[in-house]
Amino acid sequence: MGHLVWLASNPQTGPRLADHWEKSVVDDVFSSALRKQTGVSLKYMLDFGSRPIERQLILSAQFLHNELPVRLAHRVAELENSPYGLSAKPHVLKVRDWYVESFKELRAFSRIRNASDEEEFTNLLRHIYFRHRNVVPVLAMGVAELKRELQHEVGLNDLPDIHQMLDSFYLSRIGIRMLIGQHVALHEPQKENHIGLIDTRCSPGVVCADAIADARMICMREKGSAPEVSIYGDPGFAFPYVPSHLHHMVFELVKNSLRAVYDRWEDAAQEPPPIRVVVAEGEEDICIKVSDEGGGIARSGQPKIWTYLYTTARSPLEDIRDRSAGSTESAEGPSVLAGYGYGLPISRLYARYFGGDLQMISMENYGTDAYLHLNRLGNVQEPLP
C-alpha cells in the first residue's frame, strides 16, 4: 500500500496548469473556483423560458456569463488535483485544457447589454457545447489508464475518492450542458409543448417505447437477436421533463437487462421471458421499473455496479485508447451494448440532477429490478457538487 499512499498524497506528477497557461488565467481559474455555484430547478427553467422574449434571453445570457466560468473553474481545480496521479494522464489533461479554454473564452467575453451581444454570446455557447461533446469517453480513457496501472495493487472499486471525484465531475457536466443546451434551444424553432429542451407534456410511456426500440436494435446488432420487452402503464400520462435525459436512463437500464437475459437464456430450449417495464404515476414521483430474469447479481457484487469502469464485458476503451479525441463516439458517449461501465452510475446522476434517484434490487440466480424515480414537481434545485 506504500505506493498507493504516495500516489494519493502526490496527486499531480505531470504538467501543472501553470506549465500550459499564462499566470493571469491560472489565477483567475483558482479565484473563480472559490466562488459559490448557483443552482436552478426544472420549474425555474420552465417559468423563465415560457416567454423567450428578448429581455428574458438577455437575462439568461447574463446569468450564464457569470455562472458558467464558476462551474468550469470548479471542475478544472478538481481535475488539476485528482488523486493517484489521475491528473497527469494525457486524456485527463486534454479534458482539463478544454475546460480552461472555455473558461478563458467566457471570461474574455464583454458584458452582455443588448440583443446583439446576446446573439454573439449564444454562438460562443454553441461552440463550447460542441467542444465538450467527447468529454465522457476521453476522460474515461484516462481513468482506464489509471485502472491498468493499479490493477495489480488494488481494484479501482477500492478507491472511493476517485469515484467521488468522477460523480462530482459528471454531475456538474450534466448541469453545464443542461444550462447551455436550454439557452441555445430557446433560440431554435420551438417544438410543440416544448420550452427549450423541456417537454411540458413528456410521456414516459412514449419515451420508454423509443428507448426500448433503440436498445433492442443495439442488442440485435451485437447479438443477432433481442429478448422481448413489455411495457405497462397509462400511455396518456405526461409531465414536464427533459425527454433526452429520460431516454438516456431507460435506454441504459433496458440495454443492461437485454444483455443479461440474452446471455442467461442463449442456450435454453425455450424463449427467454420478456423484460417488463412498468410506468407508475405517483403524487410526487414518477417511478419506472425495469424487471428482468437475467440471473441477477450476487449481493457482494451489487455495490460494484455504481463504480466507474466496473463491467463484465470487454471494454471498448481498450480498442480506442490510442485514437484521437475527435474520432471517439457520439456527443454523449458511445452506445455499444456493454463495456464502458459508465451506464448505471451516470444514469443515476441524470436521475438525481432533477431530484430523482435510481436503485437496483437483484436476486442472484433469478433477475434484477431497477427502480427509476423521477421528481414530477420540478421544484428541486440542482445538486451542485
Catalytic residue of the set 248, 293, 373, 375: 248
- Does position 333 have pLDDT exceeding 50, yes or no? no
- The C-alpha atoms of residue 301 and residue 375 are separated, in whole angstroms, by 29
- The C-alpha atoms of residue 366 and residue 295 are separated, in whole angstroms, by 4
Higher pLDDT: 335 or 310? It is: 310
Task: Give kind and range of the element (H or E) at residue 128.
Answer: helix 115-131
- What is the pLDDT confidence band of residue 324, given thresholds at 50, 70 and 90? very low
Active site residue 23: no
Catalytic residue of the set 80, 252, 293, 382: 252
Interior CA angle at 26 toward 24 and 29, to 5°? 110
What cell was used for 126? 454553441
- Does position 174 have pLDDT exceeding 50, yes or no? yes
- What is the pLDDT confidence band of residue 43, given thresholds at 50, 70 and 90? confident
> In the chain, what are the domain boundaries?
2-192, 197-375
Active site residue 256: yes
- Does position 6 have pLDDT exceeding 80, yes or no? no
pLDDT at residue number 85: 87
Higher pLDDT: 189 or 242? It is: 242
Q: In sequence order, what DSSP letters do the residues of 338-375 get, joined into one string?
A: S-SS-HHHHHHHHHHHTT-EEEEEEETTEEEEEEEEEE
pLDDT tens digits, 222-280: 999 999 999 999 988 999 999 999 999 999 999 999 999 999 999 888 899 999 999 99
Active site residue 147: no
Please answer whether residues 204 and 279 qualify as being in contact, where contact means their C-beta atoms are separated by less than 8 angstroms.
yes
Burial (0-12, 13-18, 19+ Cβ within 10 Å), 221: exposed
- The C-alpha atoms of residue 240 and residue 199 are separated, in whole angstroms, by 6
CB proximity list for 379: less than 8 A, separation 6 or greater:
41, 42, 43, 355
- What is the pLDDT confidence band of residue 383, given thresholds at 50, 70 and 90? confident
Contacts 24+ apart (CB under 8 A), 302-306: 302/360, 302/362, 303/157, 304/157, 305/344, 305/360, 306/163, 306/344, 306/345, 306/348
- The reply to whether domains 2-192 and 197-375 share a CATH topology is no
Higher pLDDT: 350 or 330? It is: 350
- The C-alpha atoms of residue 260 and residue 295 are separated, in whole angstroms, by 7
What cell was used for 268? 435454453
Q: List the strands of the sheet with 239-241, edge to edge.
A: 194-195, 198-202, 239-241
The fraction of the chain above a pLDDT of 70, given in percent, is: 86
The fraction of the chain above a pLDDT of 90, given in percent, is: 63
- Does position 128 have pLDDT exceeding 60, yes or no? yes
Assign 114 to helix, strand or coil: coil
pLDDT tens digits, 210-220: 999 999 999 99
pLDDT at residue number 310: 57
pLDDT at residue number 321: 44
- Does position 312 have pLDDT exceeding 70, yes or no? no
Q: Mean pLDDT, to the nearest integer, of 348-360?
A: 95
Q: Evaluate whether the domain defined by 197-375 bears CATH number 3.30.565.10.
A: yes
pLDDT at residue number 361: 96
- The C-alpha atoms of residue 14 and residue 142 are separated, in whole angstroms, by 13
Catalytic residue of the set 132, 183, 255, 373: 255
- Flag the least confident range among 58-67, 89-98, 333-342, 361-370: 333-342
Average pLDDT over the chain reads 86
Higher pLDDT: 176 or 48? It is: 176
pLDDT tens digits, 136-166: 889 988 988 888 887 766 555 567 888 889 9
Active site residue 329: no
Contacts 24+ apart (CB under 8 A), 44-50: 45/182, 45/195, 45/196, 45/198, 46/195, 46/198, 46/200, 46/240, 46/378, 49/182, 49/186, 49/195, 49/196, 49/198, 50/195
Whole-structure pTM value: 0.87
- The C-alpha atoms of residue 360 and residue 216 are separated, in whole angstroms, by 21
What cell was used for 372? 427509476
Task: Write out the CATH class of domain 2-192.
Answer: mainly alpha
pLDDT at residue number 147: 82
- The C-alpha atoms of residue 309 and residue 317 are separated, in whole angstroms, by 10
Kind of pairing between the strands at 239-241 and 275-281: unpaired
Q: Tell me the one-letter amino acid at 154.
A: V
Q: Mean pLDDT, to the nearest integer, of 170-195?
A: 93
Q: Mean pLDDT, to the nearest integer, of 322-343?
A: 44
